[in-house]
Amino acid sequence: MLKRFLETGQIVGTHGLKGEVRVNPWCDSPDFLKGFTGFYLDNGKTFIKANSIRIHRSIALIKFEGIDDIDEAAKLIKKVIYIDREWVKLPEGSYFEQDLLGLKVVDAETQKVYGTLGEVSKTGANDIYRIDSDGRKTWIPAIKDVVKSVDIENGIMFITPLKGLFDDEN
């Protein structure tokens, strides 16, 4: 079952004296956060309205309703912010990172199971996926030539690995 509330970032500090907080975004771009009027805290239990969201370099500066001074803002440090999955419509072929983690990674041709997707790492050109299997970690590029299909509902990612990525290949 897919999680309703998705981790979107973490409050890492305060900004100024009037209650603004610094948020390290866990999304493709901090600009993504500007599309929301509020966020959830506490694993989706508490909704908090955002009065303003602005971007400074790679950090989002958010002023939440009811947080009006640095002392109140400081109480939010280390809290994770969440969005409701229903608020976002992803383009075809795009996925929430949290939905990819834990997928079984299977060869599209031979049905051999390579392991599970353990981490998504962002690089300049494309993401790379870490496949975990029996203590071994193998990184694959998240490109169309390798990732053939993703079935979130059944928890499977089908791949055609590049030669040399796994021990048994030439």
**Domain-ending residue, one of 87, 106, 126:** 87
Q: Are residues 18 and 59 in the same domain?
A: yes
**What is the side-by-side order of every strand in the sheet holding 104-107?**
136-141, 128-133, 113-121, 104-107, 156-159, 147-151
Domain span holding position 129? 97-159
CATH number of the CATH domain containing 110: 2.30.30.240
CA 43 to chain centre: 15
**Domain-ending residue, one of 87, 106, 134:** 87
Mean pLDDT of the chain, nearest integer: 93
Q: Give the model confidence (pLDDT) of 74-116 as tens digits.
A: 999 999 999 999 999 988 878 888 999 999 999 999 999 999 9
The rounded percent of the chain whose pLDDT value lies above 70 is 97
The confidence score (pLDDT) of residue 167 equals 63
Contact assessment for residue 118 and residue 101, using Cβ atoms and an 8 Å cutoff: yes
**Which residue's structure tokens are 């969201």?**
53
Helix (H), strand (E) at residue 9: strand 5-15
